[in-house]
Amino acid sequence: MTDFRVQQEQLWNQWAAHYNEEHQARDPAPAADFLASLADGGTALELAVGTGRIALALADRGVKVTGLDTSPAMLEELHRHRGGRPVETQLGDMAELDTGGQRFPLIYVAFSSFFFLMTQQRQAACLARVTRTLTPGGRFVIEATVPRAPGLLAGRQQLAIRDLTDTHLALSAHTHNPIDQTIHFQEIRFDQSGTRLLPVTLRYVHLSELDLLAAAAGLTLTDQYADWHHTPLDVTSTQHISVYTPTGEPA
């Protein structure tokens, strides 16, 4: 049986030294602004915090953040950049979330990291633990890709050129299993220093499936947007920002 936690730890340990460089074009400020408005000066828990790009920006806005991740190397990168910001970290698995009884008014997971749980059962377990870890009236926010074709789901395998210069070539290859809803990526980088392989493995979740999993876990959808700027979600949207609150509590 695959140990998905160990698998993800190994994958993201490979990414750690290169993650910030690979994602430097993604500005964390809009996400931090959006999340700070929900935290209302309180505390937040980020699942799959990685190198802390959003957590550190959120801390700059006065929110104390606890970040959970399976990868020790990614957390080491976070601490290298943390400075004096109020960001704490915990090594652990989202599907086995355990904060020792501490509850948070805001829990969030960004960059489609929820998909890294790899099975529907683990995704359901994560949501159930999120519900128990939220304070009354708290918010759970998930940012993820909207699975749609054409695109990643258009075929069983694809190879794309991401960047091409006189000294650098970046390729992205992936295989898609529509039965399991899994995608295996390999980000490949060639330059004068050699070759670098950066793997990603995920199980995507359709919006309707996510709502059902959330409902089963005791969460109700309250808001949904196409991006961190509150753009309305529509049929052309490539990602979604979904906000949930514990069922039966005021929105």
Which domains are assigned to the chain? 4-146+206-246 (3.40.50.150), 157-201 (2.20.25.570)
Give me the DSSP letters along 77-144.
HHHHHHTT-SEEEEE--GGG---TT--EEEEEE-TTGGGGG-SHHHHHHHHHHHHHHEEEEEEEEEEE
Q: Cis (ω within 30 of 0) for the bond into 150?
A: yes
pLDDT tens per residue across span 181-227? 999 988 888 888 888 888 889 999 999 999 999 999 999 999 999 99
d(CA 235, CA 5): 33
pLDDT tens per residue across span 21-51? 788 888 999 999 999 999 977 899 999 999 9
